[in-house]
Structure 1
Amino acid sequence: MNLLLLGASGRVGSHILTRALQDGHHVTALARSPEKLAHHQADNLRIISGNVLEVSDVVRTVSGADTVICTLGTDGSTTLSEGFPHIIFAMKQAGIKRIITIGTAGILQSRTSPELLRYQSSESKRKLTRAAEEHHKAFALLEQSSLDWTIVCPTYLPDGELIGSYRVEADFLPENGSEISVPDTAAFTYSLIDSGDYVRSRVGIAY
């Protein structure tokens, strides 16, 4: 399969990149700092220097992809809210439907106030909501699109180890879920490449 990976040098993205290359997928990685991926030597990896904030970069990178995987974070920036219109535009132009992206548990529905998202309710313990607001904007853009999207929404995300056992639930965080490791989040996200599950849905993941 031909994959476009956005955020390949990040915590979750680097795990997905390693798995995809080992399994023989052809991966294109769009990176602002290509040197961060220099240690990945593989014939099935194409690294393109560029930025999701430049629509021309996304358009030339997305060509030929079967699936887009986005693991971009917020890092106090507006990368998601500014970049997702470019991603959606480029995918539509190229006729690509499937995108799997990493969100946050804050944009899942609240169990205590189902009409609200978790970050908008008392269910969330976080005082700062900037990151969740950015992910919410990306979610809204995908929801308004015609793409086959899935947003994987981890709760507290320590580096941790690959355990291989976790709980997932559409649109909600699994009951009493408090954390999920980076490797397990990456493993679940990667498993969705060959799955028709959770299309046009958010997925909460936790131990």
Structure 2
Amino acid sequence: MKLTILGGSGRVGQKIARLAHDQGYQVQALVRDISKARELIPFATLIEGDATNTEDLQKALIGSHGVISSLNTDKTTTLTTAFPLIIEHMNQLGIKRIVTIGTAGILNSRYEEGKFRYQSSESKRTKTFAAEEHAAVYKMLEQSTLDWTIVCPTYLPEGEEESEVRYELDMLPIDGKKITTGDTAKFAFETFQEHRFSRTRVGICY
């Protein structure tokens, strides 16, 4: 099975790529810096390009059976520019399944009904741009016909698999403080592989 990974040389994306490769998937990755990606994920078929470019995206998606995205905002509108194109090309190519890495900020507030966490007192962040970008992606996916899941980690330090992961649909488990990039990658890949949590957000932490 061929799996397309967007953001394949990023902190989480490269770990997802390795997990997929180890499980026998043909990994196809869209990356901005192909020389860096060759060092990090040398086993992958690499397409150098930008997720906001429609031709680059089409090249990365052709022949794929599913998508995992670990694209982030880079303090730009990368997500809200890329995802309409991702959804369009997936529909055109008949690809249904996508798992994407979001943020705990777009989960529902546990204590303030009708708000995202980033809009409520549960969030300690003063800057909300990234969360707003991820929230817009959630709304796009919700309105699409794709079979999507958004994996929403809380504070995300670099690290390998560390502990048992707690999860909750649409909310962050109580007292969730952090989860490593390694455990986030493993959870996202297993979510894709086992076809769990269709058309919902899932909050993850230790």
Q: TM-score, normalising length from structure 1? A: 0.96
Tell me the residue number matched to 2:53: 54
Shift of 1:164: 4.5
Shift of 1:114: 2.2
Tell me the residue number matched to 2:24: 24
Tell me the residue number matched to 1:146: 145
Percentage of pairs with the same residue: 49
Tell me the residue number matched to 1:9: 9
Structure-2 separation of matches of 1:58 and 1:81: 14
Structure-1 separation of matches of 2:42 and 2:10: 17
Q: Which runs of 5+ in 1 are unaligned?
A: none
1:116 partnered with 2:105: no
Structure-1 separation of matches of 2:31 and 2:159: 25
Shift of 1:168: 0.6
Tell me the residue number matched to 1:36: 36
Over the aligned positions, Cα root-mean-square deviation in angstroms equals 1.0
8 Å CA contact 2:34–2:47 kept in 1: the answer is yes
Alpha-carbon displacement from aligned partner over 1:26-61 (angstroms, at most 9, x marks no partner): 01101111111112333xx21011111111211222
Give the residue type in structure 1 aligned to 2:6. Answer: L
Alpha-carbon displacement from aligned partner over 1:39-84 (angstroms, at most 9, x marks no partner): 2333xx2101111111121122211111100001112011000000
Shift >3 Å, 4+ stretches: none
8 Å CA contact 2:47–2:59 kept in 1: the answer is no
The 3-state SS of whatever aligns with 1:38 is: helix
Shift of 1:163: 1.9
Give the residue type in structure 2 aligned to 1:165. Answer: E
Within 5 Å, give how 1:73-84 maps onto structure 2: 73-84=72-83
Q: Which runs of 5+ in 2 are unaligned?
A: none
Q: What is the aligned residue count?
A: 205
The 3-state SS of whatever aligns with 1:11 is: coil
